Amino acid sequence: MISEAARRRYQTIVPPYVDDAYALARWLSGSSVDAEDIVQEAALRALNALETAIVERPRAWFLRIVRNAALTWMAKNRPKAVVMVGGVDDLAAIETFDPAAGERSPEALLIAAEDGDRVRRAIAALPTPLREALVLREVNDLSYREIAEATATPIGTVMSRLARARVALAKTLEDKS
């Protein structure tokens, strides 16, 4: 039985981060349908944990639960295929637009779309730990400390993974240009 206090805490902690949770689950699972199941499972885990949990950084805390739920779900349902891919919406945070450039021509829009696809494919090709750190930082905008908390890794490891992910991403994009 869940207490009323846990329900109230849940209402203030979880709903603001459901979109971030869904984006992370979709990147981890590679499927929007599976991501919905993962977020639902994570929300239930969060509700149960709020009976006793001390939550200092709610966003990192909930995304860690989402990450763990995703890994558990994939180990159970797809033990041989753990992939991280995402959709167009997930990388909107890292795509840039130069407002000084004014209106874009159809040709410029097509080139920008192709570049966005190349970036998404390059991120999807990164090894799982590097991809996860990069997505949490650049898509979900978590701080290094929050990423360390969400992935249960030391902050130095997070910094190293992000640096390696960025170098690998730059190399991949440079090689294909």
Q: Which pTM value belongs to this model?
A: 0.67
Tell me the CA distances in angstroms from 41 to 50, 124, 164, one per residue in order.
14, 24, 32
8 Å CB contact between 63 and 140: yes
| Structure tokens, 21 | 């949770």
What total of structural domains would you count in the chain? 1
Q: In 3D, which of 27, 22, 29, 61 has the Cα closest to residue 45? A: 61
Note down pLDDT in tens along the chain; length 177 residues.
788 988 999 999 999 999 999 998 888 887 889 999 999 999 999 999 999 988 899 999 999 999 999 989 988 887 554 444 444 444 444 444 444 445 555 556 555 566 677 777 888 788 888 888 988 898 888 899 999 998 889 999 999 999 999 998 888 888 765
Whichever domain contains 100, its CATH number is 1.10.10.10
Range of the domain at 76: 4-175
